[in-house]
């Protein structure tokens, strides 16, 4: 452990002389003084018992009992207690990040089951074993379409999640891809590698999608909405992407979450990330392995499909547990309850003179009010997070199966 001891003065002097500076202060000359802290204003040292008391007192200032009608890509969903119990087992929680081929059979099986479930829900042939999040999945899908089509332009719906837009723009800039945002799909799309549409979109609207014959179609979706809505395969999707936060993942202040990419089998070699496969060993027993590994760690860097995507295996495990625990019937029931409560709230708001601007929505919709700040502030004072402010008079409201009839009545009573 001697390598972790603090350096003494002689060692510091020797190191400074070796690199040719007189003092440690010289190492920081390039940083403007106004950007540096003069000193750390820390309290005196406390015992462990006193630290616990102080931290608990600070934590009590937090309010965590709000009724939440927030959405915009992160939702308050029911999470069975069993998920945390299993995912926090040391075999999963402390395992080495699963990049390499020597992953344990248990982790590989979870990845395989996750892929199978995502493929069944989306109706696509294959799915990868997760990427960072929904925004990364969208951007990676565009890069994937470019490799397939050899075209450096992409069409993206204006109504996609604004956070996803930022990720897409960053990826596109770095890879010299021209992004064109649209309200309606143009008649001629032959010059574009792909069309990316989100349904339901950021505003909750369920899009009617007609696939052009000459362009790859990428559909971004909230995976939980597919418990009721048509799977993207039925309207011609070539690639399906999205976030899996609604599959048993806590909101956690916006992350970390995970994303997925599913596609047609003929594009399998272009999918980023990892694919786990199932086979049998020499004794005829079931065995799992990483079938495809397309990151730069596994192959020559210039041939990698992605140098940045990662495998969120622990979060993928939570999603797999969630779907396993709920089953097909429970998954549909959760989706139905979310949609039911959202439509109930929308109808009751309309009766109070607050119109819903959406034509078709699942569990998220936009309302029009006289003053969004005043509207939301009044609700917050009553312990309700009433939605996301879009502008002065529009608010994005979401409901999930966690919203009760009493919550809806409380919302209506305090507006």
Mean pLDDT, to the nearest integer, of 309-336? 92
How confident is the model over 101-111, as a mean pLDDT?
80
The CATH architecture annotation of domain 67-77+327-413 reads Alpha-Beta Complex (3.90)
pLDDT of residue 102: 60
What tens digit of pLDDT does each residue of 1-38 get? Answer: 456 677 889 999 999 999 999 998 888 888 888 888 87
Mean pLDDT within 263-285: 92
Residue among 86, 69, 58, 128 at smallest CA distance from 385: 69
Q: Is the model's pLDDT at 147 over the cut of 80?
A: yes
Q: Write down the residue that tokens 């549909």 correspond to.
A: 332
pTM for the structure as a whole: 0.86
What kind of fold does domain 81-322 have according to CATH?
Answer: 3.40.640
Q: Which pLDDT value is given to residue 1?
A: 45
What average pLDDT does the segment 364-377 reach? 98
Residue 331's closest CA among 232, 240, 229?
A: 229
Q: How much is the pLDDT for 5?
A: 74
What proportion of the chain, given as a percentage, has pLDDT over 90? 74
C-alpha dist (Å) from residue 249 to 86, 113, 321: 13, 17, 10
- For residues 151 and 192, the answer to whether their CB atoms sit within 8 Å is yes
Query: Which range (92-96, 142-146, 337-341) has the least confidence?
Result: 92-96
Tell me what the mean pLDDT of segment 214-232 comes to: 96
What mean pLDDT, rounded, does the chain reach? 91
Looking at the predicted structure, is the pLDDT value of residue 261 above 60? Answer: yes
Mean pLDDT of 253-257: 85
Tell me what the mean pLDDT of segment 282-310 comes to. Answer: 77
pLDDT tier at 185, thresholds 50, 70, 90: confident
Question: Which residues lie closer than 8 Å to 2 by C-beta, 6 or more apart?
Answer: none
Q: What confidence score (pLDDT) does residue 295 get? A: 64
Residue 389 main-chain phi, psi, to 5 deg: -70, 125
pLDDT in the model for residue 214: 85
CA-to-CA distance for 156 and 194, rounded, in angstroms?
8
Q: What is the pLDDT of residue 7?
A: 84
Q: Which tokens sit at 6?
A: 């603090």
Q: Answer whether residue 66 shows pLDDT above 70.
A: yes
What is residue 2's predicted lDDT score, i.e. its pLDDT? 53
Residue with tokens 């837009």: 165
Q: What is the mean pLDDT of the segment spanning 168-179?
A: 96
Residue ranges of domains in the chain:
67-77+327-413, 81-322
């Amino acid at each position: 452990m001697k390598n972790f001891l603090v350096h003494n003065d002689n060692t510091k002097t020797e190191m400074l002389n070796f690199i040719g500076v007189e003092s440690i202060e010289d190492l920081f000359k390039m940083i403007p003084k106004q950007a540096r802290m003069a000193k750390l204003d820390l309290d005196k040292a406390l015992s462990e018992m006193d630290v616990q008391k102080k931290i608990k007192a600070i934590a009590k200032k937090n309010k965590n009992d709000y009724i939440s009608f927030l959405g915009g890509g992160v939702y308050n969903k029911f999470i069975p207690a069993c998920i945390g119990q299993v995912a926090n087992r040391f075999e999963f929680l402390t395992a080495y990040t699963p990049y390499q081929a020597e992953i344990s059979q248990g982790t590989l099986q979870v990845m395989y089951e996750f892929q199978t479930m995502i493929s069944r829900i989306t109706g696509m042939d294959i799915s990868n074993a997760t990427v960072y999040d929904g925004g990364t999945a969208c951007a990676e899908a565009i890069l994937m379409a470019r490799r397939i089509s050899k075209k450096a332009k992409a069409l993206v719906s204006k109504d996609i999640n604004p956070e996803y837009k930022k990720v897409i723009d960053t990826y596109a800039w770095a890879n010299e891809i021209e992004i064109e945002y649209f309200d309606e799909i143009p008649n001629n799309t032959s010059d574009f590698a792909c069309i990316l549409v989100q349904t339901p979109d950021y505003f909750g609207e369920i899009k009617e999608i007609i696939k052009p014959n000459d362009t790859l179609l990428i559909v971004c979706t909230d995976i939980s909405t597919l418990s009721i809505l048509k799977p993207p395969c039925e309207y011609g999707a070539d690639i399906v992407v999205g976030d899996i936060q609604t599959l048993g993942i806590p909101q956690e202040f916006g992350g970390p979450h995970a994303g997925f990419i599913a596609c047609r089998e003929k594009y399998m070699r272009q999918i980023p990330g990892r694919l786990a496969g199932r086979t049998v060993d020499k004794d005829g027993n079931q065995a799992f392995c990483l079938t495809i590994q397309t990151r730069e760690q596994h192959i020559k860097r210039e041939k990698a499909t992605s140098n940045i995507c990662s495998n969120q295996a622990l979060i993928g495990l939570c999603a797999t547990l969630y779907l396993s625990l709920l089953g097909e019937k429970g998954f549909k029931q959760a989706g139905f309850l979310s949609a039911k409560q959202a439509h109930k709230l929308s109808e009751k708001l309309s009766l109070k003179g607050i119109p819903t601007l959406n034509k078709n929505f699942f569990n998220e919709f936009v309302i029009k009010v006289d003053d969004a700040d005043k509207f939301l502030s009044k609700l917050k004072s009553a312990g309700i997070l009433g939605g996301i402010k879009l502008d002065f008079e529009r608010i994005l409201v979401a409901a999930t199966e966690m919203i009760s009839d009493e919550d809806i009545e409380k919302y209506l009573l305090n507006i």
